Every structure is written in C-alpha cells, then in structure tokens.
Amino acid sequence: MRAKTAPINAEGGREPRSFSVGGHLLSAAKPQPGLYLVATPIGNLADVTLRALETLAGVDVIACEDTRITRRLMERYCLAAELTPYHEHNAAVARPKLLQRLAQGEAVALVSDAGTPLISDPGFKLVREACAAGFAVTALPGPSSVLAALTVAGLPTDRFHFAGFLPAKQVARRARLTELARIDATLVMFESGSRVQETVADLAHIMGGREAAICRELTKLHEEVTRAPLAELFAQADRLETRGEFVLVISPPDADALVMSADSLDELLRNALSHSSLKDAVAQATELSGRPRREVYARALVLAKDMKGDHGQDSGRA
C-alpha cells in the first residue's frame, strides 16, 4: 500500500504535525517546549521509532547535519516540520539561534545524519548550553551503530569502551591504539573505508591475537559482519571490501596482555619522548604499560640517549 501524503494547506504546503506509517496518516500534538534528541535510522529507514516520528512531526524545527539526508526520512514518512542545518562548521552561529527559539517556548529536535545524536556527531555544546539555561532536554532512544555492532559481534558486552574515530596518521593512530590496548573492556570504534585496511593492520600489530569483528554497512542492503582473530583479519585485509561505513569491535585483553610487550613499550616511549620530558614520558608509559616504573625509567634512559645521538648524527651530515 502506498503511503498517503500529508494534507495540503491553503498555502500549498504540507500540513504540519502529521506523519504517515503504513499508508495511514496520523496526527501529532506539539511537544512541550524544549530540546529533543531524536535517534534516527543508521541505514534502514524502517528502524525509526513511532515516538521519534510523532516528535519530529510535532516540533517547530528540526536541527540536522545535512538537510538533504534528513529530508529522505521526512519524505518517507510525510513529515513537514521546518529543517535547519546544524553541523560542526556552522554550530557557533546556529547554536544561539536555536537557544533563542527555545527561549521563545518552541520545541526543537536535534538529529544527526544517522543514529543517536552526539555520538561522534555535533550537539554536545548545544545540549550543555540548553541545560545551563534551564530548558528541558529529552532523549528519544533508538538506532545506534555502536550498540548494533557490539551486540552482533559475538564478543563480551558487560563492559565496553567507545573510542570514536581513530587518528588518520599512522604514528598517532598506533599511539592511540597502544593506549586503548590497556583498557579492560571490549573496544568499539568507527573507521572509514579508505583507512580500514591500515587500521586492521595496526590492530593486529598492537593487539595480537584478540578476537574481533568488522561490521560493514549495518542495517543496510549489503550488511556484512566478519568475525575472526585480528591476525586472520589482517591476513585477509587486502580482500576486504572497503566501500561503506565500518564499526570495528575488539575483545578485551587477557591478563597477560595488560602487560605491554617490550617492543610496544619502546614505541610508546619514543613517541612520548619526542614531545615530552623524560619524567613525563616515564609517568605516561608506566601507567599504560603495566610494567614497573624502575624498568620503564631504565629503558627510557637508553632510548633518550639513542634519540639524542641520532639527532646529533643527522645534524653533522646536514
């Protein structure tokens, strides 16, 4: 059955405060004034909740990252609320305007392009300032690629750490992964298709034989979940489909893994010594490595001497 379109008003536009589900046109009351954080589908548009549709139909304005993407959801369910862009490039200008509308007693919805707002998406400062100003802030839970990947990966779910997007440069990425390797929880992170093969290689290098899952295009037509130890995933990395959006899930470390290998310790110390004092580098490495401070300090002295010598030789040749 084709969905009915929203009724047309005298000005020729769609009548607000209504939405269509399964061919049935439903009315929606205007929500109480305040900011509504509305989760939207991460791929499959059928994953939207009825509460989300009713709220999006009833609010005065919907703040969204990309009006073109949000409009697809609007058209699917015959929503007619006003759309206004709110993203990292215009937030400083757009945020005061949204707060002003809240002050005038309006109901404002915040959505991201996909999933739950604020999760690796803009919105934190808007929520913080709305709370500080005393406006009501309400979360409408729903789709989340973080939780979808975590539950489908087949790895422990009692404790998990969401790491967001990793650094694009390999040196910074490996340093970040070295820090994450010490966390006693399942790790969840986002990655782009252009870097996923490099990241899998770095994960295998730093986190060894841990179990992992590569989740691609969750809830979409070509959804794919590959589960295997990191070493196997690395061996298959050159055959990995790189189109789409990825969520990586890595199992927690075992007890032995909480003590950093000698090679990883050296890598961590070299990185720390390149921009920190010996004292600060040792403190950081001791905390992250699980090794005694005396051992870390002794190794740091050797590496610092070697690094100083390398710089001196380079200067001599220049």
**SS3 for 309?**
helix
> Is the Cβ–Cβ distance between 19 and 26 less than 8 Å?
yes
CA 239 to chain centre: 25
CA 209 to chain centre: 25
| Predicted local distance difference test score (pLDDT) of residue 180 | 94
Taking the domains of the chain in order of start, what are their residue ranges? 18-143, 146-258, 262-311
Q: Which residues contact 254 (CB under 8 A, 6 or more apart)?
A: none
Residue-wise DSSP of 224-260? EEEEEEHHHHHHTGGG---SSEEEEEEPPP-TGGGSP
Give domain 18-143's CATH superfamily: Tetrapyrrole methylase, N-terminal domain (3.40.1010.10)
Which residue type occupies 67?
A: T
Which residue ranges of the chain lie beneath pLDDT 70? 1-16, 255-258, 310-318
| Predicted local distance difference test score (pLDDT) of residue 315 | 39
> Is the Cβ–Cβ distance between 230 and 209 less than 8 Å?
yes
What is 146-258's CATH topology? 3.30.950
The pair of three-digit structure tokens given for residue 7, joined into one six-digit string: 């009724």
pLDDT digits (tens, 9 = 90+) for 173-215: 999 999 999 899 999 999 999 999 999 999 999 998 899 999 9
Instruction: Using CA atoms of 50, 52, 56, 57 in order, give the dihedral in degrees to the nearest 10.
Output: 10
| Predicted local distance difference test score (pLDDT) of residue 221 | 93
**SS3 for 277?**
coil
| Predicted local distance difference test score (pLDDT) of residue 1 | 31
> How many CB atoms sit inside 10 A of residue 101's CB?
18
- Is 0.85 surpassed by the pTM of this model? no
Q: Where are the beta strands (DSSP E) in 77-167?
A: 82-85, 107-110, 137-140, 160-165
